[in-house]
């Protein structure tokens, strides 16, 4: 049993050094998603969550086979028009006259815990989706690894989860 713990610890450390080579720096291998509401009005905040659900559902199939951080950034960048189209359809359907704008850039995020994963405060690459002015409260999560992207409303969609995270969870279950 001790050898298994030692092997798992070594594997965990190796994964940390592979994906986060600079101790004390935010791991550069995370691509976040940040959806900003037009304002803090109740209507703008409510539609933000409808847009979030639609965009997450749209991203699941186009990111399901992504295996690297760079590939995730490329796929997201190549699909800005599609992401905006999905968001804009929700906005129009709900009676809003403003539209969305997608971009990829580095942005500051506070510390955030996702189950067992903690992302420290710092600068991260992010898919930014501004709804209208983008001046309202926001919703954010991870695009890569796809920690927050599970099928939210359509049970026909396969869960979109990081393959690496699944391996880690499977290994730790065997302890």
This prediction's pTM: 0.70
Q: If you average pLDDT over every residue of the chain, what do you get?
A: 76
Angular region, 14: left φ>0, alpha ψ -120 to 50, beta rest: alpha
* pLDDT exceeds 90 at position 162: no
pLDDT digits (tens, 9 = 90+) for 105-139: 998 888 887 677 777 888 989 999 999 999 999 88
pLDDT digits (tens, 9 = 90+) for 22-33: 444 544 588 989
Residue scoring higher pLDDT (29 or 170): 29
DSSP 141-160: EEEES-SS---SS-TTSPP-
* pLDDT exceeds 70 at position 89: yes
**CB 48 within 8 Å of CB 37:** yes
Alpha-carbon span 175 to 171, nearest angstrom:
7
Report the candidate in 136, 137, 112, 138 with the shortest Cα–Cα distance to residue 124: 112
Which stretches of the chain are DSSP H helices?
2-19, 42-63, 69-78, 80-93, 163-173
CA dihedral 174, 18, 29, 75 (to 10 degrees): -90
Domain boundaries, the chain: 27-160
* pLDDT exceeds 70 at position 155: no
The one-character DSSP state at 110 is -
């Amino acid at each position: 049993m001790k050898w298994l713990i030692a092997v798992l610890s070594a594997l965990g450390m190796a994964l940390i050094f592979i994906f986060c080579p600079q101790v004390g720096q935010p791991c550069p291998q995370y691509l976040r998603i940040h959806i900003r509401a037009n304002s803090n009005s109740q209507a703008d905040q409510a539609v933000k969550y409808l847009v979030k659900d639609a965009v997450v559902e749209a991203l699941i199939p186009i990111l399901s086979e992504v295996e690297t951080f760079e590939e995730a950034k490329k796929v997201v960048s190549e699909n800005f028009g599609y992401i905006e189209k999905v968001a804009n359809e929700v906005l129009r359907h709900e009676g809003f006259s403003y539209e969305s704008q997608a971009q990829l850039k580095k942005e500051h995020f506070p510390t955030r815990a996702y189950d067992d994963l903690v992302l420290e405060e710092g600068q991260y690459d992010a898919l930014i989706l501004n709804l209208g002015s983008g001046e309202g409260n926001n919703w954010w999560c991870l695009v890569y690894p796809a920690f927050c992207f599970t099928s939210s409303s359509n049970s026909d969609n396969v869960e979109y989860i990081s393959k690496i995270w699944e391996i880690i969870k499977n290994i730790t279950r065997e302890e």
